[in-house]
Structure 1
Amino acid sequence: MNWQEVKKVAKEKLKPYCRVCPVCNGVVCAGEVPGMGGVGTGSSFKANIEALNRYKLNLSTIHEVRQPDTTFKLFNETLSIPVMAAPITGSTYNMGGAITEEVYCEEVISGSLMAGTIGWTGDGADPLMYGSGIEAIKKNNGKGIPIIKPRAQDEIIRRIKLAEEAGAIAVGVDIDGAGLITMALKGQPVSPKSPKELEELVKSTSLPFILKGIMTLREAKIAYEIGAKAIVVSNHGGRILDHTPGVAEVLPEIADSLKGKLTIIADGGVRSGVDVLKMLALGAEAVLIGRPVVVAVFGNGREGLKLYFNNIKNELSQTMLLTGVSSVMNVPRDILRG
């Protein structure tokens, strides 16, 4: 199957939760939470796309680059591309349930590995959600990263131990999940965390700890100070708070202050290899991709995801060649205009 065929199958399976639009930009699905849209007006989801689109690339073809290097190292794991599958749960109430939670997690982890990269798994109101991710990671020799909602401390630590037992590469909390409507509807208490509480979580595990959902320099600094090994600059796909800026808008300020001190990952609006290179130029070291991963998996399982990531790799390599970038580990900001 080619990508267009994958999208066609996914469109049928995801009705009416996702229309698999020609451009996944949050316009048609605005306000559809639960579902695949952005909360409220959908402004935050749309802002992620708009912020990336404001940047243009400087075409450059007078240089020595012949074979761009797309490999990236995360916590001693070498990945074929600096691109990973974002943690997404809720197959039934966000995606329509044509694929079960267990199968979705298995396909994301396996498909990511087939493409030479890593899948992240999530947490949700149903215990099956986090457990499905842990089982998929365990089946694949720990090659995955589980992310936990900001629950009560003891509940997070219990889930961290499950990640350790599964041999996971790292573990983390999506702190922005404190505002999830779907969690509230299911009676699952989540809340913001103090720096002291986050430090307790970091110290509870020997695994690298990731704090996902950072959108300000102040909170990025807190993440560094409490010992997080990585942050994900993210507004949760625009599903938490209406009218936030786009990720590409806040990323440079955070990267200028903290790059080299901890790993900076960007999550918000990345749809192509071109978008990946833009995020790297703005200071990220890697990116997460969410909604298109859902489309890939619903369209053709792990093979669909492998195809999508391979397409991203080819686009990224071509874009590097045409901007004079030799390695994803060193992407200068001056390839951008805007």
Structure 2
Amino acid sequence: MDWKTLKQTAREKFNGACRVCPVCNGVACAGEMPGMGGIGTGTSFHNNVAALAGYRLNLKVVHDVGEPVLACKVLGLELSMPVIGAAIAGGKLNMGGAVTEPEYAAAVVSGCQQAGTVGMTGDGPIADVFEAGLKAIGAVGGRGIPVIKPRENDKIIEKANQAADAGAPAFGMDIDAAAIINMTNAGQPVGPKTAAELAYIKKNTRIPFIVKGIMVPEDARACVEAGVDAIVVSNHGGRVLDHTPGTAEVLPYIAEAVKGKITILVDGGVRSGADVLKMLALGADAVLVGRPVTIGGVGAGAEGVAMVLNKMAAELRAAMVLTGTKSVADVTEDILW
């Protein structure tokens, strides 16, 4: 399947839940929740894309970098590139029934594995969502990371230990889902966590702990103090709070506060390999990619996810050559204009 056919197939299967726009910036789908849009005015979603697009790369070609190194290690995982498939759930609700939860989870983790990296799976008020993720992770030998909603602490610990039993190398908690009403309405309350609660979760789980939804330096520092293994700088794809800055705007401040003390991941508006390189220059160790992976998964299953990621890898490689960047481990802010 070629790229044009993949997008057309995804557009048809989404049936309006996602338009697969030429530029995925949250404008056409603003306020469409359920759906793939951003909350309210869609400003947070749009800010993610606009903030990242606002950075420019210095074109540099008088050097000896012909074969840049994309491979890296994140939380002990050997990856072909610093790109991870983000956790997105809601095939029936947010994706208009384009795929089932088991189909989507399997597409993401298997497609990411084919591309040499790792995918994340989601959680929700329906037990099938988390269970589908664990099943998909088990099917690829444990190469996947489940992300749990900020439930009651002991529920998180229970699910995290289920993930460990399934062979997952780490688990996440999307703390930015602290006010999602459908969880509470389903009798599964969610909410924010104190640093002491984060430490409690860390103490009672067996695999690395990732906290997703960090947008200010003080929250990043609290995660370090709690012993968390990694953070994701994220505003939940612009889907939880209107009018937040883009992640690329806040990432440098968070990196300044905690770089070297904790693994820093980031998502939000990453659409190309050049975007990946920008995020690394701004202080991330690796990035999460959401909506493009979803389009790939809906359009062509695991093959589509791998196609999206391999395309991104080729773009990243070219951007590194054209900025004189030898390795993803040595990206500096000097490549930014």
Q: Which amino acid aligns with 1:193?
A: K
* Aligned equivalents of 1:245, 1:89: Cα separation in 2: 24
Moved more, 209-218 or 198-207: 198-207
How far apart, in 2, do the equivalents of 1:152 and 1:262 lie?
Answer: 24
Shift of 1:306: 0.8
- Where does residue 11 of structure 1 map in the other structure? 11
SS in 2 for 1:93: coil
Distance 1:297 1:164 in 2: 25
- Change beyond 3 A, Cα 1:17–1:184: farther
Conservation of the 8 A alpha-carbon contact between 2:75 and 2:263: no
User: What is residue 108 of structure 2 aligned with on the other side?
Assistant: 108
Following TM superposition, by how much is the alpha carbon of 1:181 offset from its aligned partner in structure 2, in angstroms? 4.1
Amino acid at match of 1:48: N
Please show how residues 31-180 of structure 1 align to structure 2 within 5 Å: 31-180=31-180
Residue 139 of structure 1: how far off its partner (Å): 1.3
Instruction: Find the aligned partners of 2:57 and 2:187 in 1 and give their Cα distance.
Output: 46
Question: Aligned pairs, how many?
Answer: 337
Q: Deviations over 1:59-92 (max 9, x none)?
A: 0001111101001101222111100110111100
Partner residue in 1 for 2:234: 234
| Aligned-pair CA distance for 1:154 | 1.8
Larger displacement relative to structure 2 (203-212 or 315-324): 203-212
In structure 2, relative to structure 1, the CA distance for the partners of 1:82 and 1:34 (3 Å cut) is: same
Structure 1: stretches of 5+ with no match in the other structure: none
Q: C-alpha offsets along residues 254-273 of structure 1, whole Å, 9 cap, x if unaligned?
A: 11221111110011100000
Residue 23 of structure 2 is aligned to residue 23 of structure 1: yes
- What SS class does the counterpart of residue 63 from structure 2 fall into? coil
1:217-256 Cα shifts (integer Å, max 9, x gaps): 0000000110011000000000000000000000001112
Secondary structure of 2:36 counterpart: coil
Alignment of 1:246-257 (within 5 A): 246-257=246-257
Match of 1:283 in 2: 283
Instruction: Provide Cα deviations, 1:98-151, integer angstroms capped at 9, x if missing partner.
Output: 211011101111000000000001111111001110111111111011110001
Partners of 2:250 and 2:167 in 1: CA distance:
33
User: TM-score, normalised on structure 1?
Assistant: 0.98
State, as a whole percentage, how many aligned pairs show the same letter.
54
- For 2:331, the aligned partner's letter is V
TM-score (norm 2): 0.98
CA distance in 1, matches of 2:138, 2:162: 10
Find the residue that maps to 2:207 and give its secondary structure. Answer: coil
Partner deviation per Cα, 1:10-51 (whole Å, 9 max, x = no partner): 000001110000010000000011110000100000000011
Q: Is the 8 A contact 1:59 1:323 kept in 2?
A: yes
Aligned to 1:216: 216
AA aligned to 1:123 is D
| Structure 2: runs of 5+ lacking an equivalent | none
Find the residue that maps to 1:270 and give its secondary structure.
Answer: coil
Shift of 1:187: 4.4
SS of the aligned residue for 2:131 comes to helix
CA distance in 1 between partners of 2:48 and 2:105 (Å): 25
1:280 is displaced (CA, Å) by: 0.3
Counterpart residue number, 1:201: 201
Shift of 1:93: 0.5
Query: Separation in 2 of the partners of 1:143 and 1:192?
Result: 28
Match for residue 243 of structure 2?
243
